Amino acid sequence: MSGVMSDLARQQSEFQRAILTGDDAILAEIPDSPKEKRETLFGVYRYAYASRLVEAMRNDHKLLHIYLGDEMFNEVGHAYVAAYPSHHPNLRWFSSHLPDFLTSAGAYGKYPILADLAALEKALNDAFDAREAPVIGVADMAAFAPEAWAGLTFEPHPSAQRLDLSTNAAAVWLALKAEEDPPEPLSLAEPGRLLVWRQDVTPLFHQLNAEEAMMWDEAASGIPFGVLCSMLATYDDPDGAAARGAGYLHGWITAGLLTGVASGEQSGE
Amino acid sequence: MNVASHVPVSAASRSAHSASAAKPEFLGFGLGLRAQHYDEILNGSPAIDWFEVISENYMVPGGQPLRMLDRIRARYPVVMHGVSLSIASTAPPDFEYLGNLRDLARRVEPKWISDHLCWTGVHGKNLHDLLPFPYTREALDHVVGRVQLVQDFLGRALVLENVSTYVQFSNSEMTEWEFLSELSRRSGCWLLFDVNNVYVSAFNHGYDPLTFLEGIPSDRVVQFHMAGHSHMGTHIVDTHDHPVCEDVWELYAAALKRFGRVSTIIERDDHIPPLDEILVEVERTREIARQILPPLVSAAG
């Protein structure tokens, strides 16, 4: 780009750099106050910057904060602020890269429980203010004739998310939430398969077995009920597959996890 | 060829249609809405005339925040107060943010939309702080243009608040109150006079808060903020986490004498006490106004 940068643009650039990097060039353009030196006064902005962002992280990750304690959370928070400066006007999304940071940052990646705990809290936060949508009830299913069931497809509630965790972060979360001592962190032989969603206004999570997790994932991608039951038949007793499928479906409906159900015949109308 | 140099019309050169917009109505004595108080507000009938909500807290897809806001809005007048407009930034405006703000305003139908006379970041970064800038003619032209653009985008006049500042710039060419007055006159925006912020900045920069107060045109102020702060001895930090101090109550009385009947809220951002405790301060804003201002003439009379 050509052109002369305006004084205002240059000063804002230097002011921001002074906060983010500690560069003092801007102080040459700031006088001392009658009672205090410019370095101290400018320090109010430097201190407020990181402390406000770390506080936002504490609000979003209350249980990770309890798990780590003040000092360690503060250290994680400041490292995150340095690694992921905010690019969004809304603080609500500032912490959203924390699970990625905890996975990839060398010092923390050795403790996968931290990234998993952060991921679970993030999923619950996202469910909390996810888009509104109606939920279907058991009575809505009565509208379909038995022969139509094989063709039924389902639409998950917008708050619903699947999360696979490699550690016992769910058990740690539950203990911390109940203000109990958390269990020792463990790596799981099989991933912990969670379904996170909002029921009315309350974010919840539910642990799924491998079969139900598979059925949810496939249902969410539009596979009809009859095919889902055939898929279930490959996981366990084939004769009980339809009953198991109906049981999982009933659970999802009563939990408020589904926003829509449609029959194959009607979908073209 | 530099295409940018050939763009003919800046927003600043257009007429400020909003300058003639009607002055927002007097709403009474209210409170900044905080999630901690949702239940107490909706389950009781606290003596609060109106609420100011932080716009960004409700710029989310759905869930409890928006449901609560809808319920409060059904019972009380609401004003939207943002923290991320960054009106003085030299970075391009964030039009996605402005679009979300406009969408929220369509849902809430606020009495007005306010934000701060400050910037929050450049080069794509957001520092989530209300940052100061020099009061120069260059900055004034820039901010006037931005205010006019945002007012055109939103289809309504903005209300802008003076922020607490800790530093000044050697190249400032005018005082903060001169800047605010000119900005309001030229862009048509209204002013939110934060009484605490005037007190804080006056202490930090060593001037008399009454000089600031008297430098603001008496007909441009549509809202007062009242809040607390943290005194560090040589300077004051605007923490909004304490009750309003006696000096700020005195300045509020002086502001009432100058600006008359102005919609007022108590604003608390941290260490938020139970509603009853804050209601004592809301009552005090009402009582001081009752002592200073002539009674409202009844419409029936």
Q: Could you read off the pLDDT of B224-268 as tens digits, one per residue?
A: 999 999 999 999 999 888 899 999 999 999 999 999 999 999 999
Q: Compute the distance between CA of residue A127 and CA of residue A212 in angstroms, rounded to an integer.
A: 20
**Domain annotation covers residue B266:** yes
Nearest Cα residue to A131 out of B18, B61, B17, B256: B61
List the domain range (segments joined by +) for residue B63: 28-292
Specify the pLDDT at position B108: 97
Q: Does residue B301 carry a pLDDT above 80?
A: no
Mean pLDDT of chain A: 95
Specify the pLDDT at position B10: 43
Specify the pLDDT at position B2: 55
**Domain annotation covers residue B13:** no
- The tens digit of pLDDT for each residue in B5-33 reads 444 444 434 444 444 579 999 999 999 99
Mean pLDDT of chain B: 92
Are B169 and A129 in contact (CB < 8 Å)? no
Query: How many residues in total does chain A contain?
Result: 269
A63 membership: H or E segment, kind and range: helix A62-83
Specify the pLDDT at position A32: 97
Over residues A253-258, mean pLDDT: 98
- The tens digit of pLDDT for each residue in B125-147 reads 999 999 999 999 999 999 999 99
Assign B55 a pLDDT band (cuts: 50, 70, 90): very high
Q: What percent of chain B has pLDDT over 70?
A: 92
Best CATH choice for the domain A131-268 from the list 3.40.640.10, 3.20.20.70, 3.40.50.1980, 3.90.930.50: 3.90.930.50
Specify the pLDDT at position A1: 41
**Domain annotation covers residue B270:** yes
B25 membership: H or E segment, kind and range: none
- The tens digit of pLDDT for each residue in B170-196 reads 999 999 999 999 999 999 999 999 999
Q: Which residues of B touch A16 (CB under 8 A)?
A: 121-123, 125, 127, 131
Q: B98: nearest CA in chain A?
A: A89
Task: Output the CA angle B125-A12-B215, nearest 5 degrees.
Answer: 120
Task: Please give, rounded to a whole number of angstroms, the shortest distance from the CA of B298 to a CA of chain A.
Answer: 43
Over residues B216-220, mean pLDDT: 97
ipTM of the complex, rounded to two decimals:
0.92
Task: Please give, rounded to a whole number of angstroms, the shortest distance from the CA of B288 to a CA of chain A.
Answer: 32
Q: What is the DSSP letter of B128?
A: -
Over residues A92-112, mean pLDDT: 94
Are B133 and A11 in contact (CB < 8 Å)? yes
Task: Please give, rounded to a whole number of angstroms, the shortest distance from the CA of B206 to a CA of chain A.
Answer: 6
Q: Which residues of B touch A86 (CB under 8 A)?
A: 121, 125-128
Show the tokens assigned to B112.
Answer: 């007005």
Specify the pLDDT at position A253: 98
Q: Which residues of A touch B235 (CB under 8 A)?
A: 33, 35-36, 40-41, 44
Q: Does residue A59 carry a pLDDT above 60?
A: yes
**Which candidate in A1, A14, A16 is best for mutational testing of the B interface (most B CBs within 10 A)?**
A16
Of B128, B139, B205, the CB nearest to A91: B128
Q: Which residues of A touch B65 (CB under 8 A)?
A: 129
Task: Please give, rounded to a whole number of angstroms, the shortest distance from the CA of B89 to a CA of chain A.
Answer: 8
CB B67 within 8 A of CB B60: no
CB B14 within 8 A of CB B148: yes
Are A87 and B125 in contact (CB < 8 Å)? yes
Are A131 and B61 in contact (CB < 8 Å)? yes
Q: Does residue B65 carry a pLDDT above 90?
A: yes
Q: What percent of chain A has pLDDT over 90?
A: 94
Over residues A111-137, mean pLDDT: 97
Bridge partners for B194 per DSSP: B225
Are B142 and A6 in contact (CB < 8 Å)? yes
**Domain annotation covers residue B216:** yes
Assign A269 a pLDDT band (cuts: 50, 70, 90): very low
**Cβ pairs bridging A and B (under 8 Å):** 147
Specify the pLDDT at position A115: 98
Task: Please give, rounded to a whole number of angstroms, the shortest distance from the CA of B217 to a CA of chain A.
Answer: 26
Q: Compute the distance between CA of residue B301 and CA of residue A59 in angstroms, rounded to an integer.
A: 52
Over residues B94-105, mean pLDDT: 98
Q: What are the φ and ψ backbone dihedral angles of B78, each rounded to 5 degrees?
A: -130, 140
First-to-last alpha carbon distance for chain B, in angstroms, is 68
CB B131 within 8 A of CB B119: yes
Q: B141: nearest CA in chain A?
A: A8
Which CATH number characterizes residue B282's domain?
A: 3.20.20.150
Q: Compute the distance between CA of residue A176 and CA of residue B299 in angstroms, rounded to an integer.
A: 58
Q: Does residue A266 carry a pLDDT above 50?
A: no
Number of domains in chain B: 1
Of A2, A13, A40, the CB nearest to B122: A13
- What does the domain layout of chain A look like in residue ranges? 7-110, 131-268
Specify the pLDDT at position B298: 60
CB B167 within 8 A of CB A41: yes
Burial (CB < 10 A; 0-12, 13-18, 19+), residue A182, is buried
Specify the pLDDT at position B18: 44
pTM of the model: 0.93
Q: Does residue A98 carry a pLDDT above 50?
A: yes
